[in-house]
Structure 1
């Protein structure tokens, strides 16, 4: 599981909860002045995940307004950019003369080294909390021209299409399911998140050439791989379809995978075989014909599937299913034997 720190104000009596939240904000690298109409009972939750080059924070709280003043900046300048995704409710963002209303599914971006203010409220205050995920990026870690970034301060960016959607999905998945990852995944996840954020911000600068080539390559690769994972069951999925969907040539697509020591077709085939192998071992799918399982993951030809499966795993699909079934029976039999032993 990814290391995560959490805070839950509801462990305290209602009258002490807002004070607990203010203490949390004061301890962060970007302290702010916070006020809320719910200060008498501020039921809130926060969790923090450090991914190395970036840090993620997931928030859930009643409506609030926060401001970072010039004095606060002078007292503490962490040299951070903040990329905030509103996941529930409506937010406002203001910096450098630009003010925006941020809807659920949209990003806003600001520089914590400059004064700014923000607001966030639930759309139905009596029944909902406002929720968001923020990504904290050190100035030195973002490979974009610092003098160009002011064009994005306080603005809004879509998190429902293109790279923005992929970044939003990444943030929601990592913060929502940290148990699905290992501590060893931290640096790689941080690199992926930074690449996606860099590419999205670069595109909104209308200066994609400002994004380093390798960052663009890795971000595009992540986007392509995500698309392949979502469409494995489509029997027509292949290099041409993938290339057309991403508006690149097949040749460019192949070059994209060269650094991964595989080809596009091999990547698709290996993922499909892995899904089939998993499903064939699933007792709940025992009654489904082998070819039904294969077709679900894009193998329309029975003979081709059998040959590919044997080449990858050294056994036929049916033999693999039978061996898993035999193993399950052995385990169940042993469990039954243990349960039937008399107690001491």
Structure 2
């Protein structure tokens, strides 16, 4: 399916996103041949809950005037399946399954799925979150390994299990009170001890690493150790360039390889190539391991992904 056809398929999705979350715009990747966009929402006693399943390239919203009618909320994001990157007011963070983040609807924000993802968004009062931190950021990743973080994750899981029940206004208010009470101790503070020179150095190194990964994805020897040796830095310094985003070098390499494989599997010009050839081309040396992690990322086997892409082209 061409991009015009895919764009037509996103019209219903765009409206659902606007109704649930505000003025977000969906962007597709150039290599997209199969678009998945599913959204359902419920009102839980005055608290909005939206379940999202998509492989969109990016879902983005520019910074808005906080007086706008659709900027009354912060979203508690619960990553359920797949990986995504959130951009929150210029800061990038990675979310893996089971991780949580808070997103300010009034700020500049975007979601970039790394393949097919499922996540849940719970709308809570922006004014009440602001009262917790009058001068601090209302966006960021949440620490789910602390006692408060574990309580928050348990609470969210219970809400998801009980969402089919009838929620009264008192239920919704109590649920929101509990979530807000647990937010402040779980918000991961952005490091402020680094000077500007350190921040610029790490940012520049990260871009250099990302370019190196893109240029050597086909090589089985691509690894943190190999890159550190090529760059003349320590392994610790290499890992440090990914720490502030909550990502890791190995996860970044694996996702990049899977994305290239998915692109080739969906390319009608490469249908003559078998799946193992494609996996080997992008640095995978074990076809069984490749199939396992591909299915985990895209919720379908490489073969099924190729068949579905062909049906939609």
Provide TM-score, normalisation by structure 1.
0.46
Higher relative contact order (CA 8 A, sep 6+): 2
Provide TM-score, normalisation by structure 2.
0.50
Larger Rg: 1
